[in-house]
Structure 1
């Protein structure tokens, strides 16, 4: 499975995978699994990542297959 670029982008914005994991209060291997595309990013973490990255990585990017079901209010946004 290919790398999941939005998580890798969030790591870059935050200064690395370890820094992102620390900010989220979770183990680095969890973030690594997201970045590898082997585990989906949990819904609650998507909002946190969007906020931590100042919107550089969005919920839509982190949940491309179901964001419109989770956050229907975002449907009209570009």
Structure 2
């Protein structure tokens, strides 16, 4: 992913990290290591709902992966 910091998926991931508190906290919420979260350019499909739940809906599945979750779903 070129210039990933400006990509909407990466921005949503960063927002989730900020809401949850840290990469380590995100990792604990989804059952992976902090290093795994560090390597993500976006939230993998099988972790989207867990991340959304860990943010108490502050970051939606649509924000995290609009390619998989269209608006209103």
The one of 34, 40, 43 aligned to 1:41: 43
The one of 11, 14, 19 aligned to 2:17: 11
How many residue pairs align between the two structures?
67
TM-score normalised by structure 2 residue count: 0.75
Structure 2 unmatched ranges of 5 or more = none
Offset from partner CA, 1:10-63 (integer Å, 9 cap, x none): 1111111111112211011221122xx2xx422221101111101011110111
Secondary structure in 2 aligned to 1:67? coil
TM-score normalised by structure 1 residue count: 0.71
Tell me which residue corresponds to 1:61.
63
Q: Distance in 1 between matches of 2:72 and 2:66?
A: 15
Structure 1 unmatched ranges of 5 or more = none
1:27 is the counterpart of 2:33: yes
Tell me which residue corresponds to 2:4.
2
Instruction: Provide the aligned C-alpha RMSD in A.
Output: 1.9
